[in-house]
Amino acid sequence: MFEIIEKTNRAEMFSSYSCMGSQFIEKLNPFSYEKNLIKISPDCSFSIYTGDCCYVLKNSSALIFDPLEYLDCGDSYKFGEDYFIYLGLVDEKAKIIVSLNATYPNGMRPENTRKIGGFHYGSIRKVSDDGLWVPVDSNGVKFGSTGIKWQDNVTEGIVPNSVWDLKNRPKTLFGGLVKVGGIWVSIYQASKRTNFTFMEGENLTHVAEGMLQSCYGQYPVSGIDGLCQYNFSELAARAGMRLMSYSEWQAAAYGAPQGEADANVYGWCDETNKVRARTGCSVNLETGLHDAEKGAKPYAISAMNVVDTTGNVWEWLGEYSNRHDAPEGEWGYYDQLGPGMGQIYGWKTDSFSAFAAGGHWHRGIYCGPRAINPDDQPWKVNVHIGTRLACDSL
């Protein structure tokens, strides 16, 4: 456990920490899937400033613990939620606290706690334990169909690549993120945190108000909410995030099964679907709550634990293409970008397009982890297109 090794008034100690390696918090045995244990590496030191002095805490050996035993409220996880790991001081004794609160734990104060990491609890696709993250069947065969076939080999728990700490973390704690390579990607398609308004009350112009989120059980935002690709870029930047490139998106979607024409098992893409669905695996379509037995799209998750890359809504990317497929045209300025937004110089009115990936709610087998649509213009307010956000590591 952490022990107090120093008590000081030195100002330079008030926000310091020291840990070896590129990260110090991780899920223990992440590919065993049997337990949800967290490991904190040995010889980490953190300071907590209580308002009148600074305490330096250090662990001399590795700490392995079950976060459920350290919850500040309740004794079970809430599916699809972010949890935060804190160090706290009570009567000059150090303790670990795990909380849903992003500010400070219940029963504590900002002055006697310090946030050092966190994780997301949700769906996990079972993958190989060789560091390659290849989907496996229940017998460990890569892309196998023995026992439980790889497409259906999904469980729930602490999402291993969602675990972050002060060294290994996204630039912005947007919430609902997993690490894919060197970037952090939203687990869920972007949904509405706050309502949107537009410059002079019109869409196709700048967004005046509104925020996005990555959250389980919500409706993904799209052109239904008046947003075009430009608006999603603005909203991403507002949150310290960005739209993804196609190669980044493919890395995040790797290992997600292709959609089916007559089912919503691997994604919301049954050809009879009429509207978008709530985000997340095994989600109750009415309430947005987790339903392990009857919830929709139970296996709509990639090897990197990114959900809904197959179907639901197309996802605007941050890449563009110039189109020359008109039988005839003329280079010139075209007023397509919205009031007060300038004009496009192109071969024709729709000669410029933005990429979108994944497919949407009634495209069946056309939806999947490489599905791509370069057809729509970035100013197009399309009800079928939403997005997913990403950011770099700190």
pLDDT in tens, 285-300: 999 999 999 999 999 9
**Structure token digits, residue 225:** 């909410």
Rounded-to-integer distance, Cα 347 and Cα 368, Å: 32
DSSP character for 162? G
Rounded-to-integer distance, Cα 228 and Cα 110, Å: 40
Q: Flag whether pLDDT at 13 surpasses 60.
A: no
**Cα distances (Å, whole numbers) of residue 318 to 92, 99, 164, 190, 357:** 50, 35, 26, 14, 11
**Structure token digits, residue 50:** 């209580």
Percent of the chain at pLDDT exceeding 90? 84
Please name the residue that has the structure tokens 């495209």: 363
Instruction: Kindly indicate the confidence band of residue 241, based on its pLDDT and cuts at 50, 70 and 90.
Output: very high
Q: Flag whether pLDDT at 393 surpasses 90.
A: yes
Contact 292, 282 (CB under 8 A): yes
Q: Identical fold at 3-129 and 185-326+329-392?
A: no
Position 351 scores a pLDDT of 85
**Across 347-376, average pLDDT:** 94
Domain chopping of the chain, boundaries: 3-129, 185-326+329-392
Rounded-to-integer distance, Cα 135 and Cα 140, Å: 9
Give 325 or 59, the one with higher predicted confidence: 59
Position 199 scores a pLDDT of 92
What's the maximum distance between 2 C-alpha atoms anywhere in the chain? 79
Q: Flag whether pLDDT at 12 surpasses 60.
A: no
Give 293 or 327, the one with higher predicted confidence: 293
Position 11 scores a pLDDT of 54
Rounded-to-integer distance, Cα 310 and Cα 369, Å: 6
Rounded-to-integer distance, Cα 317 and Cα 371, Å: 12
Which CATH architecture is the domain 3-129 placed in? Trefoil (2.80)
Q: Return all residues near 193 (Cβ < 8 A) that are at least 6 apart.
A: 210, 211, 212, 213, 215
Please name the residue that has the structure tokens 């095994």: 282
**Cα distances (Å, whole numbers) of residue 58 to 6, 70, 206, 338, 345:** 9, 18, 49, 57, 61
Position 329 scores a pLDDT of 82
Q: Return all residues near 335 (Cβ < 8 A) that are at least 6 apart.
A: 343
**Across 158-185, average pLDDT:** 97
Q: Flag whether pLDDT at 326 surpasses 80.
A: no
Write the single-letter amino acid at 107.
G
Position 302 scores a pLDDT of 98
Q: Which CATH code, of 3.90.1150.10, 3.40.50.1170, 3.40.50.10860, 3.90.1580.10, is assigned to 185-326+329-392?
A: 3.90.1580.10
